[in-house]
Amino acid sequence: MPAHLRQTLKVPAAQLQTDIQDAVTDALSVLTAGHEERQVHPPGERAAYALACQAADQTRSPKRTVLPPLTELRERWQASAIAAFGACTVHRLAERARAAATAVWA
């Protein structure tokens, strides 16, 4: 969970870490049981490491596969910058950037 979202929801970092560890531990116990069932013995060091990695991967949230269009991203970035620094500052910075680009490419 991103820090800004965690702060907004007022979730303590220690609690979030504990929840993640609990989820990985639960997934690891299921994977270990499956391994013991298939192999008829507890996993060795390498297999235990591989199972731990698999448990961590299974408990991660999925990645976004569809990115928003560039125009939408620009609008978000502009709105975020205006909220953080003010419209005047953002517009002046954009004007200076355009002037610099014109000077470079002229």
Q: How far apart are CA 11 and CA 42, in angstroms?
A: 37
Measured from the Cβ of residue 50, the count of other Cβ atoms closer than 10 Å reads 14
Query: Tens digits of per-residue pLDDT, 47-62?
Result: 999 999 999 998 888 8
Query: Tens digits of per-residue pLDDT, 13-29?
Result: 666 667 778 888 899 99
The per-residue pLDDT of the chain, averaged, comes to 85
C-alpha closest to that of 25 among 57, 70, 56, 49: 56
**At how many degrees (to 10) do helices 13-39 and 45-59 cross?**
130
Instruction: Check whether 46 has a pLDDT greater than 60.
Output: yes
Of all helices (H) and strands (E), which one includes residue 94? helix 87-105
What confidence category does residue 94 fall into, taking pLDDT thresholds of 50, 70 and 90?
very high
